[in-house]
């Protein structure tokens, strides 16, 4: 049954990819993207400290064409993590993401995609996701993630987010964001419970060094928002800060 389910999901993504490529085939396909690298004081993901409070280096590449984006991302442990056994210099996670985004109309945008996680010490897994975004003030969006690969139950995780950019000058932009997550038995990556998970508040600055090069310091604070998140998932108040540099092409 699991193999049939996996095959069905893969078939859906292949069909979406084929339809998208056919729709853009008559016109010249323009490819754009970016590559980036950053250093952070810890690796924080959905409220989990995944680096034992040790600094990490993270980097990736995004390539976009005709509404499709293919992304590669990796995490490098910079110092030994005695708690989880991660060693300094170890590339302990690699993610591959395929995304298709389009505007339904002037107010609504949709994104559908799949994220493949290869993490040292646990089984590889996949999450499909669907995002509905409103093109209005604060850019509200709702994303549903489905761990179709490993979760024993429904494996759903939801993130509701808002954000706003303030242009301080031609070269300087302040970004503010807030989000909250809800877990629905995503028992492989999160925990076997149905309840609110965590809230996150972020602030960042994008400083355009050139037309293609951007320097971005950032800060993120995460806090659990239910007893289940604290007692079952085991998350606590966390914060992380970092510096990222991006080259766009």
* Per-residue pLDDT, 20: 54
pLDDT averages per 10-residue partition of the chain, 249 residues = 46 50 59 97 97 96 96 96 80 97 97 96 94 97 95 90 97 98 93 96 98 98 98 97 98
CA–chain centroid gap for 40, Å, is: 16
Residue 41 is encoded by which pair of tokens? 């004081």
* Per-residue pLDDT, 144: 98
* Per-residue pLDDT, 228: 98
Q: Is residue 237 within 8 Å of residue 187, measured between CB atoms?
A: no
Strands (E), the chain: 32-40, 44-45, 48-49, 56-65, 68-77, 91-103, 108-119, 125-134, 141-146, 156-167, 172-184, 194-208, 213-224, 238-248
* CATH superfamily membership of 2-24+32-248: monomeric porin ompg (2.40.160.40)
Distance CA 31, CA 28 (A): 10
Please give the model's pTM, rounded to 2 decimal places: 0.86
Distance CA 96, CA 86 (A): 21
* Per-residue pLDDT, 5: 46
* Per-residue pLDDT, 84: 61
* Per-residue pLDDT, 192: 92
Give the Å distances, CA to CA, from 126 to 9, 13, 52. 10, 13, 24
For the chain, the domains span: 2-24+32-248
């Amino acid at each position: 049954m699991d193999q049939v389910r996996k095959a069905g999901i893969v078939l859906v993504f292949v069909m979406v990819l084929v339809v998208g490529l056919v729709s853009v085939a008559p016109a010249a396909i323009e490819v754009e993207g970016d590559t980036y690298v950053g250093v952070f004081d810890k690796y924080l993901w959905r409220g989990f400290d995944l680096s034992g409070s040790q600094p990490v280096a993270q980097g990736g590449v995004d390539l976009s064409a005709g509404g499709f984006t293919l992304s590669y991302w990796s995490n490098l442990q910079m110092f030994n993590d005695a708690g989880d056994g991660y060693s300094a210099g170890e590339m302990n996670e690699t993610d591959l993401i395929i995304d298709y985004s389009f505007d339904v109309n002037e107010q609504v945008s949709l994104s559908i995609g799949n994220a493949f996680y290869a993490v040292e010490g646990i089984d590889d897994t996949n999450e499909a996701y669907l995002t509905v975004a409103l093109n209005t003030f604060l850019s509200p969006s709702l994303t549903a993630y489905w761990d179709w690969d490993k979760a024993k139950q429904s494996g759903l995780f939801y993130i509701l987010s808002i954000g706003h950019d303030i242009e301080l000058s031609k070269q300087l932009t302040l970004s503010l964001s807030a989000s909250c997550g809800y877990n629905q038995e995503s028992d492989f990556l999160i925990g076997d419970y149905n309840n609110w998970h965590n809230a996150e508040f972020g602030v960042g600055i994008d400083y355009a060094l050139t037309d293609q090069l951007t320097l971005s310091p950032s800060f993120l604070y995460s806090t659990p928002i239910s007893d289940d998140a604290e007692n079952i998932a085991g998350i606590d108040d966390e914060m992380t800060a970092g510096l990222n540099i991006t080259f766009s092409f």
